[in-house]
Chains A and B, each alone.
Chain A
Amino acid sequence: MYQALLIFKYLTSKVMPLLAAAAVMLCTAMVLIVWSVMGGFLVMLLGSGRTLMGDVSITWPVIGFGHYGELIDRLEADPMVAAATPIVETIGSLSLPDGRISMVLVNGIDGPGYARVTGYEDSLWWKPLAAPLPKDKDRRDWRLEDPDGDAGFWKRAYQDGLALSKQDEATGVSRPAAVLGIELSSFNRRDPGGWYQPLHWDVRAEDGSIRLETGPTFILKRTVTLNVIPLTRQGRSVNSVARVLPVANEFKSGVFDIDAKKMFIPLATLQEMLKMDQAGRVAPPIDPYELEIGEDGEETFIEAEPTAIAPARVTSVLVRAKDGVSPEALKDQVRAVYVAFERDHKGQVPHADRGGIHIQTWREAQGVMVAAVEKETLLVLFILWFISLVASVLILAIFWAMISEKTKDIGILRSMGASKGGIAGLWLIYGLVIGLIGSALGLGVAHAIVWNINPIHEWMGRALNVQIWNPEIYYFTLIPSRVRPDHAAIVFAAGVGFSVLGALIPAVRAANMDPVRSLRFE
């Protein structure tokens, strides 16, 4: 009883316990912030791989391989496989409407098929949005309403993005279209809250009100010119091929590197541009000038006969696992399917042994990066334990000082019959209470900071000219901003635990003080 009363009185009448609680608060907040950002980073990194690659990829770069339609049929017949889709990957240069030319990673995809294997559908940016993003308090996201009073605009943009085609307004004919990474053109401005504003016009109406219009800089109303270099099967380059493409939509994977460098166009279009589509192979005539004279005396050149059909090629087939199948298990299965496939197409497709076709899980494809981040997280966790220890020592120091100050009280209590255990309990409970208060505050502070970390970072950049999170280095455009409840619980428990631990030694000292000496203490 006296413990409860004294703890309450000490808490409310002294600065020391406030300092101790503040120390606990700062330590727990720091640990939780760092953990949330680092952990979130890893989760985002892992997630992004899967979003854009599916679970397992089968790749023969640059040249590609044929008969992929049959491979996909075989894969999709397998019970472990949910879906498979072909892609062609190459590099090209892209002329943007503002005259800028960018090197781009071009992916030729079959839109709906690609969407079944990857998170493509969700990554399409321009689409109707029913509710604003969590941080968009002022409803500034353009997607909340169709622009320029054009009803159904976002819906059409979304469908165009999925199909990678766009209707020509003049002719009504559907044309192949491009979907660009959202950071690729400089026609959007990123808001720290996580949404994008297209460059726009402020149109003043007659009544003086301002209306926002997309204007001619809106990327969805523009075309881009893509240049790629086809290669022969032997890897020799052929003259480059250019194509003007309307922009159907933009996508955001959240990975800065990808959003700034990648674009999608229809698979057939890219195959055609790269001369990877189906082609007849012809045997050239022995004498090109040899003429054939018909019965009517008409002379014709001898036509070359097609000797074989070269099948269309792709550089990768991406495979998605059924729910509950691990990427590693799927990879083994995919390899088995490929081995059988290759047996039936001996010499026509890359062989299945080592040094042949690349079959990788998404984790392996990003192996170096993931390993680095995992190591870093481990290192950070180690540092966090160290910080916790520092918090403990802080509590210890503060309690040591408080107990020294309260030596006489301890003597008085002992003279009134308080036991050693009672005195130790007094200080331990005191440590517990400070730990609880400090950790609870720390959790609150961490949550507030992590939740608002992007606006805070933005503000730091603006006001203090400090940019810690450079998207080009850290891979993602936004800093992870979620506190995991289990991490919060662990940090809370650790904060309380280390506070009690810090109070332990001073408590034992207090309990073992000689009461007579304590009373003589001045």
Chain B
Amino acid sequence: MTLLSAHNVFKTYRLGRVDVPVLRGATLRVQRSEFVAVLGSSGSGKSTLLHLLGGLDRPDKGSGVEGGSGGAVVYNGKPLSELGASGLDAYRSREVGFVFQFYHLLPELTVLQNVASGAMIRHGLVGYRVNKPKVEAWARELLASFGLGHRLRHRPAELSGGERQRVAIARALVNDPPVLLADEPTGNLDRKTGASILDALLEHRRATGRTMVLVTHDAEVAARADRIVRLDDGLVVTGP
């Protein structure tokens, strides 16, 4: 059953007067509990596609020279374009979790606060007060499962790259989203650390059956997914 899909999406950036078409009718279907790797060279539009899937950006409207009706991203049978601003915020908060190549932790917050911040945004001021013990216990558990149980009060700047990425993954999972979107999570790490991060992700997935979309330019990383698609010339092509 398809949980998250992009249908015939277009994305063109405009640099001054020059149009830079990045996605030209890309289509990708992700089944529930599936782990899909999107493989593509640098600049092929992997991040762009992931941002569209995560509701962080919208595909071009009606840009269908080829596509006709224009593209749509559909989650659980419902197009994101129908969600409205607050619906999209809720979608990003509850349904998907982002992991970025450069970790993107908040430098002023401790490890624990960084992980809990997703829950703070989700619950609001009053709700977070009520849920705080539950959320913090869950955040500790997540961090412990990624081997960071003893670094709760540290700042991101005091951690290694691999440790930071584990914190970022824990943060993405704090609201228990059905979908995890990872943008080259190992791209900034050495091979060995990257492999251990990947191990941790796979281990987590085995335990929870979470749906995962991972984009990478590294075929070796992609090889560990259930299914690999390629992003080529703005289109998603299946097969190795």
Contact = CB atoms under 8 A, between A and B. Distances in A.
Interface of A: 1-6, 9-10, 13, 408-409, 411-420, 422, 514-516, 519
Nearest to B119: A1
Contact of A10 (B56, B108, B128): B108
Contacts of B56: 414-415, 515-516, 519
B45 to A, nearest CB: 12
B74 interface: no
Closest 5 CB pairs of A and B: A417-B93, A9-B108, A1-B120, A417-B92, A1-B128
A1 B123 contact: yes
B121 A422 contact: yes
Given A417-B118, A516-B56, A13 B108 contact: yes
B224 interface: no
Contacts of B129: 1
Contacts of B123: 1
A6 B100 contact: no
Given A5-B109, A6-B106, A13-B108, A413 B100 contact: no
A515 B93 CA distance: 14
Nearest to B177: A417
Given A416-B92, A419-B86, 7 more contacts: A2-B121, A5-B113, A9-B108, A414-B92, A416-B118, A516-B56, A516-B57
Contacts of A1: 120-121, 123-125, 128-129
Interface in B99-141: 100, 104-106, 108-109, 113, 117-118, 120-125, 128-129
Contacts of A3: 125
B54 interface: yes
B146 to A, nearest CB: 18
| Residue of B51, B105, B113, B121 contacting most chain A CB atoms (<10 Å) | B121
B49 to A, nearest CB: 12
Given A417-B122, A418-B121, A420-B85, A9 B98 contact: no
Nearest to B57: A516
Interface of A is mostly: helix
Nearest to A514: B57
Contacts of B105: 412
A415 to B, nearest CB: 5
Interface string B81-92: 000011001111
A1 B121 CA distance: 7
| Residue of A4, A6, A13, A514 contacting most chain B CB atoms (<10 Å) | A6
B94 interface: yes
Contacts of B100: 519
A499 to B, nearest CB: 21
A382 B129 CA distance: 46
Contact of B120 (A2, A13, A415): A2
Contacts of B125: 1, 3-4
Given A420-B85, A516-B56, A415 B98 contact: yes
A92 B120 CA distance: 83
Given A1-B120, A2-B117, A515-B56, A419 B109 contact: no
Nearest to B48: A516
B92 A409 contact: no
Given A9-B109, A10-B108, A408-B104, A413 B121 contact: yes
A9 B113 CA distance: 11
B109 A516 contact: no
Contacts of A5: 109, 113, 117, 120
B89 A419 contact: yes
Nearest to A408: B104
Nearest to B110: A9
B83 to A, nearest CB: 12
Contacts of A422: 121
A417 B90 contact: yes
Contacts of A515: 56-57
Contacts of A415: 54, 56, 92, 98, 104
